[in-house]
């Protein structure tokens, strides 16, 4: 489908709340002054189709995390011993993935923001990371494992910031947190499924065709990833101007929704260079505070990579240990959905981030304070629930850098990429020789404290910006003439009327 044609504003005698409409691809299509009842019908159809197609992101994220985190399960069935890795080398194999992950995120998101078919791009990189994951099952020493894990992270880097960017191009700020939570359920469910799949493969595949069970784990999960990748190019949405499978009226409403949400069309200016978004981001102090805060949060969440090992401290056999690792993440998924829905409903971010962090802190304290098996298992549920705030933080990033999309793309990628330093550091937080992990729990408790302070600083910065906007002192962002004209076309207003929409924007806190 072609992009949005330059519309013609004509007079119309009925059916609209105003006398402006567009001739769009040969048809009279209602704009932002569309009859409210017709608007509701079209918008409902749009969101139903969009939610259905974006649900594939959940499955992709499951495979993304399975391929990234299956080393923890493989370790319990001989990977570390077979490759003759000491604990430091094993931690290096975990952390090196994030080096590649950090390097590629910003360039990838700059690219995906500029192409017309992001669905095809995600499909291609998914095939590549599935192939690399499969090759992980063939390694025989420390060096080959490090190289394989580096390139796995390099290729996987395209998915998460890219998916977050695509969602932010379709869903308003009042809808985005819930949709991000559904996406991140793929993350949380993958923690449960990795344990279940790991239990099945590691229990039944040892010695099959002369190979260790942990090798089969990589081969099977990598093959599944490549199979799923083939469907992504046909199912995932692209942009609100060109996605196949939507009517022209639905695509117009999609653009109207995003314009009304912020007061400006969600498009980049033709005057803006390739690195224009990057230059805007590096000049915005909010980015740096969010980078540091999010990194502390990620260090606090580093127990994720060692979850089967932490469950093993309950002193069950390895299969029960893997099976018991699943329920906490299922609970965390449900808790995250409820927290995200409540955040969207009340248009609030700070307390919906800090609240789950406090729940996780209770879990850390229980794990440090007692050796009671039941109490420590309950603590794992509480710790996993702290992910709910992590999900809200991503939507806070998107809503704090709403326009232009090039800036939002770089901000999402840069903050997420920098935060992966927390995963690198987190790989060394957990001393595998320590009994009970009390020192490790102390470190992540401190990092959650830093996160709360950082979130408070961000909140105060946004409150200050909103006060300036209320007083007419602040400027949100510069609007180029071509973007202003596009806003006017989408809204069916004059340029001056369209520009006044932007003055209603306020940051979500």
Buried b / exposed e over 313-327, threshold 16 CB at 10 Å, is beeeebbebbbbbbe
Q: Residue 501 above 70 pLDDT?
A: no
Residue 339 contacts residue 365 (beta carbons within 8 Å): no
CA dist 348 and 301 (Å) reads: 22
Tell the residue number behind the tokens 């915005």, with chain if given: 284
- pLDDT for residue 469: 86
Residues in contact with 52: Cβ distance below 8 Å, sequence separation at least 6, in sequence order: none
Helical packing angle, 495-502 and 481-491, nearest 10°: 100
Residue 168 contacts residue 398 (beta carbons within 8 Å): yes
Compute φ and ψ for 220, nearest 5 degrees: -65, -45
Give the DSSP H/E element, type plus range, for residue 24. Answer: strand 21-24
Task: Give the three-state DSSP class for 132.
Answer: helix
Q: Which two tokens stand for residue 91?
A: 């931690």
| Position with higher pLDDT, 4 vs 177 | 177
Which long-range contacts (C-beta less than 8 Å, at least 24 apart) are formed by 328-332? 328/380, 328/381, 328/383, 328/384, 329/188, 329/189, 329/191, 329/192, 329/384, 330/188, 330/189, 330/192, 331/381, 331/384, 331/385, 332/188, 332/381, 332/384, 332/385, 332/387, 332/388
For residue 208, the 8-state DSSP code is G
Helical packing angle, 248-262 and 36-54, nearest 10°: 100
Q: Residue 374 above 90 pLDDT?
A: yes
CA dist 215 and 227 (Å) reads: 19
When mean pLDDT is compared across 157-161, 324-328, 455-459, 498-502, the lowest value belongs to 498-502
Q: Residue 358 above 90 pLDDT?
A: yes
Mean pLDDT on 153-174: 94
CA dist 129 and 68 (Å) reads: 10
Buried b / exposed e over 446-477, threshold 16 CB at 10 Å, is ebbebbbebbeebbebbeebbeebeeeeeebe
The angle subtended at Cα 385 by Cα 379 and Cα 388, nearest 5°, is 165
pTM for the model = 0.86
- Three-class DSSP labels, 302-336: HHHHHHHHHHHCCCCCHHHHHHHCHHHHHHHHHHH
| Position with higher pLDDT, 346 vs 306 | 346
Residue 402 contacts residue 504 (beta carbons within 8 Å): no
Local confidence band at 334 (pLDDT 50, 70, 90 cut-offs): very high
CA dist 230 and 359 (Å) reads: 39
CA dist 314 and 59 (Å) reads: 30
Q: Residue 4 above 50 pLDDT?
A: no
Local confidence band at 292 (pLDDT 50, 70, 90 cut-offs): very high
For the chain, helix (H) and strand (E) counts, in that order, are 22, 3
Which residue(s) pair with 23 in the sheet?
A: 28
Mean pLDDT on 437-451: 94
Which residue(s) pair with 21 in the sheet?
A: 10
- pLDDT for residue 25: 42
């Amino acid at each position: 489908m072609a992009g949005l044609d330059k519309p013609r504003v004509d007079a119309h005698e009925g059916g609209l709340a105003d006398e402006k409409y567009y001739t769009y691809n040969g048809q009279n299509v209602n704009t932002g002054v569309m009859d409210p009842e017709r608007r509701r019908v079209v918008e409902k159809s749009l969101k139903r189709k969009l939610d259905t197609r974006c649900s594939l992101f959940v499955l992709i994220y499951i495979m993304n995390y399975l391929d990234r985190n299956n080393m923890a399960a493989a370790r319990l069935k001989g990977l570390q011993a077979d490759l003759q890795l000491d604990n430091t080398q094993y931690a290096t194999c975990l952390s090196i993935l994030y080096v590649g992950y950090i390097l590629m995120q910003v360039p990838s998101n700059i690219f995906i923001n500029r192409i017309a078919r992001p669905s095809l791009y995600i499909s291609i990189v998914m095939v590549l990371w599935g192939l690399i994951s499969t090759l992980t099952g063939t390694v025989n020493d420390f060096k080959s494992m490090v190289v394989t894990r580096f390139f796995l992270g390099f290729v996987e880097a395209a998915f998460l910031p890219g998916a977050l960017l695509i969602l932010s191009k379709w869903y308003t700020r009042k809808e985005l947190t819930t949709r991000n939570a559904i996406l991140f359920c793929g993350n949380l469910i993958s923690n449960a499924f990795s344990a279940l799949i790991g239990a099945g493969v590691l229990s039944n595949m040892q010695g099959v065709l002369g190979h260790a069970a942990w090798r089969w784990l990589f081969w099977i999960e990598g093959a599944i990833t490549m199979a799923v990748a083939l469907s992504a190019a046909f199912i995932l949405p692209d942009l609100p101007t060109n996605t196949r499978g939507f009517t022209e009226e639905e695509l117009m409403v999609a653009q109207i929704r995003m314009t009304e949400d912020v007061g400006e069309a969600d498009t980049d200016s033709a005057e803006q260079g390739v690195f224009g978004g990057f230059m805007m981001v590096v000049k915005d102090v909010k980015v740096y505070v969010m980078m540091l805060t999010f990194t502390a949060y990620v260090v606090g969440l580093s127990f994720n990579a060692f979850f089967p090992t932490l469950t093993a401290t309950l002193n069950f056999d390895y299969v029960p240990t893997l099976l018991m690792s699943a329920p906490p993440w299922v609970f965390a998924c449900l808790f995250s959905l409820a927290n995200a829905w409540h955040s969207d409903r009340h248009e609030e971010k700070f307390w919906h981030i800090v609240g789950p962090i406090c729940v996780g802190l209770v879990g850390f304290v229980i794990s440090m304070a007692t050796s009671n098996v039941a109490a420590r298992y309950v603590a794992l549920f509480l710790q996993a629930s702290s992910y709910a705030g992590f999900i809200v933080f991503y939507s806070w990033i998107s809503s704090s850098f709403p326009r232009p999309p090039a800036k939002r793309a770089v901000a999402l990628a840069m903050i997420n990429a920098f935060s992966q330093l927390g995963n690198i550091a987190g790989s060394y937080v957990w001393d595998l020789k320590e009994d009970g992990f009390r020192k490790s729990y102390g470190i992540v408790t401190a990092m959650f404290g830093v996160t709360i302070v950082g979130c408070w600083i961000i909140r105060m910065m946004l409150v200050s910006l909103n006060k300036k906007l209320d007083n007419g002192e602040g400027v949100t962002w510069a609007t180029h003439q071509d973007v202003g004209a596009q806003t006017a076309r989408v809204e069916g207003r004059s340029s001056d009327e369209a520009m006044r929409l932007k003055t209603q924007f306020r940051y979500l806190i």
